[in-house]
A and B are shown apart, each in its own frame.
Chain A
Amino acid sequence: MTEEPADRLTRKRARTAWVFLAPMLVVLALVAAWPLLRTIWLGLTDANLLRLDQSKWIGLDNFTGKYGLLHDKVWWHAVKNTLWFTFLTVTIETTLGMVIALVLTKTFPGRALVRAAVLVPWAIPTVVSAKMWSWMLNDQFGIINHALLSLGVIDSPKAWTADPSLLMTSVVIVDVWKTTPFMALLILAALQMLPTECYEAARIDGVHPIKVFFKVTLPLIRPALMVAMIFRALDAIRIFDLIYVLTGTRESTMTMSIYARQQLIEFQQVGYGSAASTLLFFIVALLTVIYVVVGRVKLGGD
């Protein structure tokens, strides 16, 4: 016999494993696998919310056809918005998160309170955050306009949630406020895993702290930092809640998710909307693969 005897004990154990996995897998298949496949399939039809059972197969028409996504200006605007939003938020949040994390590595009286305070934005439900900031950014009664006016930074109240040129800024500010704590925590965890000998050696050598940061700290946490940034980017690309509540379906901040939902629910274009969703999925999937590869390579490479 050339094959390894798969003895009864091992086989029995494997069977038990699958029995235990079954409930979770069934639910996951129901909730993730099937709907995803269904969405992809719907994207290849002309399905309409009002007459779902009369959908016809139209192949890649939703994508490449005359009225398909690739020719839709609004779609491309949404793509651009999403990518720009992602870029802005990830870079700002990483930078600010780094600053906060560095502050939190130092021991000072009240550090625990500061850490707790920093967690507050993360704890607040997204919708509530959006509403709170909507109120603060209100053009007539908002405190932001009031403060900026009294400081002389602006000369007239700005319509933060209405003026198309300001919408992206508003949205980025709120997201930065909400998500920087998360980045700060991830970076803090990475910083705390660093060996302290490097710092002590640098201090003895009398190296300036800023130099220490760029030449010692940053390279050492680069792998974890990359992972955190990609993680964050994947979240940003999928964003819906915050922007929808803050600016609705305004085109200048419409993200791919909002575009897809608008098509699906408001315009009842289930086929078209599903096609947009599918595209978004594949973009995220591609980036996830990069995430896995980068994560593995970094961990194996050093």
Chain B
Amino acid sequence: MPALTVRSVVRKVLFYALVLAIVGFAVFPFYYAILSSLKTGSELFSVDYFPVKWNFGNYVGVFRDNPFATNLWNSLIVAVVTVAVSLFLGVTAAYALARIRFRGRGLLLMTILGVSMFPQIAVLSGMYQLIRALGLYNNLGALVLSYMIFTLPFTVWVLTTFMRELPKELEEAAILDGASPWVIVTRVFMPLMGPALVTTGLLAFIAAWNEFLFALTFTLTNEERTVPVGIALMSGASAHELPWGNIMAASVIVTLPLVLLVLIFQRRIVSGLTAGAVKG
């Protein structure tokens, strides 16, 4: 139906050029990081746009010269525990906020959301004292605890929104069956909330994995450091020479699984993110 005019062809070409530019812009840095990670020694001094040789020396070096394996392990533990605790606290709070009418409910929800606006630095000194008081300094527990400040608000928000949609009659049937609120939450609602739990779990995992400021401030020794801090502090032989090959290898190791996770669950993640922001 549309005539193959010069104008429409030019338009199509321009459009696809734009698409290519967007994709290139988005993906190039990561591609280049992979590229660089496969170069060692003096190869790094020359700039190449395409892989010339494949050398996995950096990947060995990353683990040899740095406590990177420890970092990865720490990050994993912290992220997993953070997700578990956030989901538990989030589900229980969501039940109250979504299914029970009580005075001050709306205000409470707004306040919880408001916490997500706190600048991390504003709670740093107070948090630092708390961590020391609890004896958690230089301990992964400090991280799990402090991460609650940004995982709880959106976890509670998303889970509350989701729980609101569950049919009232289902809850009533359970009440008539003699179910206590705890049974209702665990045996009736939670099995139906798979998607929401996955979404918030993923977002919490990514946020915890990514976090830098608290991890930097509350840990002292390499044994307790997480990946972001590990990578940021990777230093080379001299004070001014950074082991770029190792750093790029570390970057790729850390990023590849995350990118895969995000790509597989992109729909879930996108809906979780937009649920909060756009619908306000």
Contacts and interface: CB of A to CB of B under 8 A. Distances in A.
Asked if A and B are interacting partners, one says yes
Interface of A: 10, 13-14, 16-18, 20-21, 23-25, 27-28, 30-32, 34-39, 42, 47, 52, 99-100, 103, 106, 108, 110, 113-133, 135-136, 138, 140-143, 146, 177, 181-182, 185-186, 189-190, 224, 227-228, 231, 234, 237-238, 240-241, 244-245, 256-257, 260-261, 264-265, 270, 273-274, 277-278, 280-281, 284-285, 288, 292, 295, 299
Nearest to B145: A31
Contact of B130 (A34, A125, A133, A189): A34
B201 interface: no
Contact of B29 (A136, A190, A256): A136
Contact of B124 (A24, A39, A234): A39
B106 interface: no
Contact of A35 (B15, B126, B206, B262): B126
Given A24-B92, A224-B278, A264 B251 contact: no
Contact of A127 (B146, B212, B280): B212
Contacts of A27: 89, 145, 148, 152
Interface of B: 15-16, 18-19, 22-23, 25-27, 29-30, 32-33, 36, 44-47, 49, 88-90, 92-93, 95-97, 100-103, 105, 108, 110, 112, 114-115, 117-127, 129-130, 145-146, 148-149, 152, 156, 181, 185, 206, 209-210, 212-213, 217, 227-229, 231-232, 244, 247-248, 251, 254-255, 258-259, 261-263, 266, 270, 273-274, 277-278, 280
A110 B20 CA distance: 11
Contacts of A146: 47
14 contacts: A24-B89, A24-B92, A25-B93, A27-B89, A35-B123, A42-B126, A122-B262, A125-B255, A127-B229, A135-B244, A186-B273, A228-B278, A240-B121, A261-B217
Contact of B92 (A23, A234, A260, A281): A23
Given A24-B93, A125-B209, A277-B124, 10 more contacts: A23-B88, A24-B90, A47-B125, A116-B263, A121-B30, A132-B32, A135-B244, A140-B45, A177-B25, A260-B121
Given A227-B280, A270-B125, A288-B117, A103 B18 contact: yes
Given A35-B123, A119-B262, A126-B228, A20 B93 contact: yes
Nearest to A294: B280
A265 B126 CA distance: 13
A144 to B, nearest CB: 10
Contacts of A264: 121, 124-125
Given A143-B32, A228-B278, A114 B258 contact: no
Contacts of A99: 18, 22
B278 A186 contact: yes
